[in-house]
Amino acid sequence: MISLNSITEAAQKSGGILYVMAVLLLIALAVMIERFWALGQMQAQCSAWVRDIKGIRHVDAPELRARVEANPQAPAAQVVAVALEHDLDDTLEHFSNRLEEAVMDQAPRVDRGLWVLDTIVTLAPLLGLLGTIIGMFNTFQALSSPGAATQQVTGGVGEALLATASGLFIAVLGLIAFNALQQRVRIVMHQLERLKLMLSNRMYPHYRVDPPKRDPVVATSSAGTGRPQILQQKLA
């Protein structure tokens, strides 16, 4: 069974590789915890906004402004704030473009820090391979010494295997977390896109102009029969 003393000794003989991998593991865990918590908050906020906007017919609802002011830094709140500040003199197409711009502005916030986890997933196996090479080098160096003890030979092999196992462990753990976080990012961005579409649909009534009602024109038949005819007017 591997003891703490043997791990510490192997880390000292690894040329600092195992210490670097320990630091990478701590960084990966910190990124995982922060991102899972932040994306969970964003996902819950977006779901709440979608539920609330489903119950209204127009964008200029007072409760929307109150909710935006309660948490203005939330990604969904910043998208809704664009709708509340829209000038009706602008076109509906311009309104949709501004919403699209607001959604794209939130993308860096949503996937922030994932590049660190992606880098650690790629880097950890390479560092494990480097530690394996150093461990095997120590093994060959022990074999080249006359009268080398068996413990020295097996110690080098153990260092190599420990470095490989450490790199693979960090990579597997980081890859699982990275894929789970990427799924949450896709869900949050999908909710923001859905929120954008819902706001555009609820802004449309402000631009809709109902056609004026016109009474049908009654004319006397040209045949002199006295029967009235209804002339349908074409609306431009």
Q: What angle do CA 86, 89, 95 make, to 5 degrees?
A: 40
Cα 22 to Cα 34: distance, rounded to the nearest angstrom: 19
CB atoms within 10 A of CB 190: 11
Tell me if 79 sits within 8 A of 99, measured CB to CB. Answer: yes
Using 50, 70 and 90 to split pLDDT, how confident is the model at 2?
A: low
Half-sphere exposure in the Cβ direction for 96 (13 Å, CA): 11
Q: What is the mean pLDDT of residues 28-32?
A: 96
Mean pLDDT value across the chain: 79
Give Cα separations from 32 to 42, 47, 106 (angstroms): 15, 22, 20
Tell me if 113 sits within 8 A of 39, measured CB to CB. Answer: no
Supply the pLDDT for residue 110.
92
Check pLDDT > 60 for residue 114. Answer: yes
What letter would DSSP give residue 232? P
Supply the pLDDT for residue 205.
67
Whose CA is closest to 117, among 182, 185, 22?
Answer: 182
The larger pLDDT score, comparing residue 139 to residue 202, is at 202
Using 50, 70 and 90 to split pLDDT, how confident is the model at 217?
A: very low
SS3 of 152-182: the string is: HHHHHHHHHHHHHHHHHHHHHHHHHHHHHHH
Please state which of the ranges 73-82, 115-124, 162-171, 221-230 shows the lowest mean pLDDT. 221-230
Using 50, 70 and 90 to split pLDDT, how confident is the model at 207?
A: low
At residue 189, what is the residue type?
M
Whose CA is closest to 78, among 185, 189, 198, 192?
Answer: 192
What letter would DSSP give residue 1? -
SS3 219: strand
Cα 49 to Cα 28: distance, rounded to the nearest angstrom: 31
Using 50, 70 and 90 to split pLDDT, how confident is the model at 4?
A: low
Bridge partner list, 160:
none
Main-chain dihedrals φ then ψ at residue 64, nearest 5 degrees: -65, -45
Per-domain boundaries in the chain: 4-231
Supply the pLDDT for residue 13.
63
